Structure 1
């Protein structure tokens, strides 16, 4: 298969538009959507479906990698799955709520949630685009507490501190052509009677992208978490970006005209996973697969899944375990709601012949030192 990332990096910046489009067509992989059946019918040995979870949505690893959170719908209840026991626990059963669209572990083990405070019964999206941040203590003795800040799509949550990043926007009330889209950094403080967000500061806004991009944070890049990785939607098709948290410097890591949305980063920070679709439209169709992108500025991609080879399917929402041994991801249906999932899968990065040899090098070295 062609190395699509290198093809972009070497050619696109120097060709006029018509030639560039021809190059894009030549670089895209063959076979997308051509196979009948389902990816479930041809799973490689390094991918296992977690069938006991049913429809799992948007997984997130615990700090020690022994558990992960997931939702039972795009706006639903929050569950925790224990890998050792193979059992799930519903974490939001003890209080009334309108569902949650995101759930993340914080560095102290408590949970940061995104969910609507109220839902219009006529809203087919069940409040998905009008959510707020909530703080849920790991003891599950009390209801989640509102942090008084709107949550749009998903936040990026630090592993080693109580920092997190989020988007401030007036979309969908305002057209995406003119809507505000800003990335903010803050910290959750627990010293008072109620948890609250402190030390807020703006990192990036649309003016950094000639007002083309809508922005969403995804992950803090390890090992020191001094850089925030985010997606600039609609900018050159959708780009994987990074912003230095100290000096504000921006860096484009994908540098292509295809749709690319950054997802979970490897613990050592040398690679990130990316949802990638070979379309030039502003909105992806769902023929998405998961790729590993080297974060050295080369724009080199390595394809990790082939779910979009099957007509009507794709893969999404990949997150890498803290020991870099496994990746969780979901199967999605083409044409369904954005971010839809029809089940979760566990990907063995160590066993897969597709994993870049240096993707988990830092974790392997640390393991040898401990032994």
Structure 2
């Protein structure tokens, strides 16, 4: 990971200097209309102007980064001679920012950049400023974009699209609504947990993942409910570290199964992966008992001498208790209507998060494309979905 991380209270005030150090003079700030009225946003743009940086603004980000939006903005960047991207916002704004930076130097469309390392030119220089402690997109080489025309979501990215700088300032969390903060925290937690249960996980990524779990588990409730500054700082760091883990070890089955619910049924990403997480953990546990025990220590579950199933139960109980403390839902009931055919949703999950799976001749025995440590088939996915629609 080549991203420079600047963190601590008040570091956002130095944004102008950070930007000019990268040699940027004409930037596009990508954000949303909930961010622009905030005091920290004004401070950030004032810092840019004071440093002599020309500031162009796009504040139209909504839920998800959208293909047409990305391609249109990339064309604007090329037309107006913009030399850098600064994204200020949650995961959606940062995904827009990264996708625009990629297409700006690899035209004409983000569709052509789908997959892993499928483009040849270094993305435009970019600075990421997360205003939620969730996606960790500020340190990720990957970005997720929705193709509304085809009702799909797909990933693009690679070593040429790491952000140059991530600015983590806890002051930006002061105005975030508790529900959004809770969804963001669960998104971050899912990144850390999923990173431990993939075929690419190593002791290095497990160390990052367990550190992130510990930070998020102890800090998120205080950050969300009390706006405690130290907790907010830990929460932002935990989110970034979680993405460092999954950026190297990749993401597992919860993310693969959430994708069709997000693309076809418009379920927000954090709710999708969060509700799926305990069920996917239970699916993985039979072949990953040592990993579950390692995860238990990160959650503070002290049942190491008990049978494997008791340790798993303790971890799941810890996750569900965490959800209760921050008022996060335990099932999909109430979030979206149960699809009339869960088998069809499960089949739509076969291509996987990275789009590497089959798209033809899919059956109940077809495998979900995922680096998940335990291979899941369509029939397994259908069972997991069904469990997620049951009330806890």
* TM tier, smaller: under 0.3
Q: Give the TM-score, by structure 1 length.
A: 0.27
More helix by share: 2
